[in-house]
Amino acid sequence: MTKRKITRVLIANRGEIALRILRACRQMGIEAVVAYSEADRTSRAVMVADEAICIGPAAAKLSYLSAPAIISAARATGCDAIHPGYGFLSENAAFAEAAAAHGITFIGPSAAVLERFESKAGVRALLAKHGLPTIPGSEGVVADIEAARAAAKKIGYPVILKASAGGGGRGMRVVTSETELANLFPLCAQEAQAAFGDGSLYLEKYLTDTHHVEVQIAVDDAGTALHFGERDCSVQRRHQKLVEESPSPALTTKVREDFLARAAKAIGAAGYRNLGTLEFLVGPDGKPYFIEINCRIQVEHPVSEMVTGVDLVALQIALARGDTMPMTQAQIERRGHAIEFRLTAEDPANEFRPQAGEITLFRSPSGPWVRFDSHLYAGYEVPPYYDSLLAKLIVWGPTRDEAIARSRAALREVEIDGVATTRDFFLGLLETPAFLNGSATTGMLDASGTAAILAAAPKVSA
Amino acid sequence: MSSEQSRLDPRAESEAEELGVLIDALLPVLVDRLKETGLGEIEVERNGATVRVRAEATPASALHAREQAVSAPVASAAAPVVNDRRHAIRSTAVGFVTLASDVHVGAKIAKGALVASIDVLGVPNEVRAEHGGIVGALRCTTGDPVEYGQELFFVERIGEGGR
């Protein structure tokens, strides 16, 4: 096994995840340098860091998405590793390869592994071969409209057309008939080409109103693969996750344990390395079917950390260094229930319109089993250039009901003024029967709508 | 437009007279300016005669630690208010700087001149002077690592000729 030196890490990301990575580095005795754009000069990660370096102007293309700027910053500050966080360049094989060419360790899968898991259609086929059930769909990429028509006819409408190079919920179209397919296929291919530089499409049976579950996995260089339980991310709006919890209320114990073990085994055998997440949709038979992989640390990783007690960012760094897996599957004990709420600068009463501006008041919640990951402070200016995540509230309880009760209390303590946030939406969600009884599905926000959830929110004095 | 220029005698004929005028009229102004701007050195040249005033140098650190990263925007935001004739030449990229060979304290640079280059993984990124003038305090030396937007050196703008 190759040992790679990691003594000084460049954190090439922003917001709460930059702080999260900084904390992991400090706990491990690793120096860290925060890379920031001009728009993030006053961000909390820059203030808290021992050292920070400006990599470019506000536009992400010229800063957080600029591989030369980031690698050059790593060299200028003497860093031997780069942590890309999530989003931006976190799953970019060319970036990982360029970093390696400059003798810098990319904290994530190697370029070769990222390339192997780049094509969504290819990964579906690869993991099916290693024993993971997948949603019925085309055999890999559909070459043309004729192939798409034949595949759709075989699996039955509705189907979902997906860009093979897509991600983050983008490049997808639901198709309900053959006539629609004729119209949408060329359009979707064109969009995929424009957005991802690759027009390849594949299709799957479209499951509406289902549960979205995912497995947190980690694999060392030798191929030892472990799982850290599942997360249920069914509360979504337009394929964007709002709430995540572990364990999933949608799985029976038997289905859960079988699917977790199979996921870890398949991903190790398929050649994946470092930290990752396998996403599934639960079929009408109550069993999860694989849809896609995320080759990075995820926003919702704290849910699994709260349940297992394992620091996943520290583990990710250790695995990137070439460490042998420091634990066995039997040592990973999953206890109780954890829920995460993504507090964003979005106005739920106004189509979740993104907000920007100065935070005039900021009070964070605390108390037993309450974790609040945030880069906010009073006086902080939320820039308009990046995603709208302000904070993640993660609450643990011995049971789901206790976690929910603690979540209500903690959410009431959150006070953020200056921009509209999603806090009241979550307070309403915690009074909504479908969420309380664990039957919330991916279609929930389309069906009952946001208005009903907001109306259920108790009035909280602020 | 500038007070020191208006005090120069346009009819001075000999070099000695020129130098006398420079010293008498310009020196007090230059000394005041030096104190006021924190420049390391100011040099003014006219018809071959040169006057240079120099303050005690304060070394500038290259890549900053946290304190400077946070204080920098405050300083840069305040700078134009303090003195709109002093202009910072800033790095256009993150990498390693090479100053142009003719950039040294007291040198005169023209607007648009190539004054430095930032090496980004072997690719040079040009830094050009937005304004002409006299090079004041240097904030870096060739080979230093620099961040995007970092002050490389200051230019003191002098009269219309430097624009």
| Contact at CB, B69 and A46, closer than 8 angstroms | yes
Q: What is the pTM of this model?
A: 0.85
Tell me the three state secondary structure of residue A283. Answer: coil
**A50 → closest Cβ in B66, B72, B93:** B66
Which amino acid is located at A5 in the chain?
K
| Contact at CB, B94 and A38, closer than 8 angstroms | no
> What residues of chain B, 3 to 62, have a C-beta less than 8 Å from chain A?
none
Measured between CA atoms, how close is A103 to chain B, in angstroms? 12
Residue B69, chain A, CB below 8 Å: the answer is yes
Residue A94, chain B, CB below 8 Å: the answer is no
Which chain A residues are within 8 Å of B69, Cβ to Cβ?
Answer: 41, 46, 51-54
pLDDT value at residue B58: 41
**B148 → closest Cβ in A46, A54, A102:** A54
* H/E element, B118: strand B114-120
Walk me through the domains of chain B, giving residue ranges and CATH numbers. 3-54 (no CATH), 66-162 (2.40.50.100)
| Contact at CB, A50 and B65, closer than 8 angstroms | yes
pLDDT value at residue A171: 72
Q: ipTM of this model?
A: 0.90
Q: Could you report the per-residue pLDDT of B32-77, keeping only the tens digit for each?
A: 776 666 666 666 665 555 566 666 544 333 344 433 433 333 333 3
| Contact at CB, A54 and B149, closer than 8 angstroms | yes
- DSSP calls for A198-222: ---EEEEEPPPS--EEEEEEEE-TT
pLDDT value at residue A321: 97
**B121 → closest Cβ in A50, A55, A72:** A72
Which chain A residues are within 8 Å of B94, Cβ to Cβ?
Answer: 53-56, 69, 72-73, 76
Measured between CA atoms, how close is B66 to chain A, in angstroms? 5
Residue B93, chain A, CB below 8 Å: the answer is yes
Tell me the backbone φ, ψ of residue B7, rounded to 5 degrees.
-85, -15
d(CA A129, CA A265): 12
CA neighbor of A438 nearest in space, from A395, A399, A410? A399
| Contact at CB, B94 and A55, closer than 8 angstroms | yes
Token pair recorded at residue A391: 């904070």
CA neighbor of A396 nearest in space, from A233, A235, A213, A246? A246
Among A44, A273, A296, A321, the active-site one is A296
Walk me through the domains of chain A, giving residue ranges and CATH numbers. 8-107 (3.40.50.20), 136-205 (3.30.1490.20), 212-455 (3.30.470.20)
Bridge partners, A370 (sequence order): A395
Measured between CA atoms, how close is A53 to chain B, in angstroms? 6
DSSP letter, residue B48: T
**Closest chain B residue by Cα to residue A98:** B121
| Contact at CB, B123 and A52, closer than 8 angstroms | no
A81-83 and A8-11 strand pairing: parallel
- DSSP calls for B54-100: EPPP-PPPSS--HHHHHHHHHHHHHHHHH-TTEEEEE-SSSEEEEE-
Measured between CA atoms, how close is A74 to chain B, in angstroms? 9
Is A296 labeled as catalytic in the residue annotation? Answer: yes
Q: Could you report the per-residue pLDDT of B105-158, keeping only the tens digit for each?
A: 999 999 999 999 999 999 999 999 998 999 999 999 999 999 999 999 999 987
Q: Going from the first residue of chain A to its last (462 residues), give the mean pLDDT of each consecutive group of 10, the final group possibly shorter.
A: 89 98 98 98 96 97 97 98 97 97 98 95 94 91 92 92 78 89 91 85 90 98 98 93 97 96 98 98 94 96 98 98 98 98 96 95 97 97 96 98 98 98 97 95 80 90 56
| Contact at CB, B93 and A72, closer than 8 angstroms | yes
Token pair recorded at residue B8: 């120069």
Site from A53, A82, A97 to mutate, B interface, most B CB atoms within 10 angstroms: A53
Which chain B residues are within 8 Å of A46, Cβ to Cβ?
Answer: 66, 69-70
Place of tokens 């904070």: A391
Contact B86, B52 (CB under 8 A): no
- Is the pLDDT at B8 greater than 80? The verdict is no
Which chain A residues are within 8 Å of B65, Cβ to Cβ?
Answer: 50-51
d(CA A444, CA A233): 12
d(CA B74, CA B72): 5
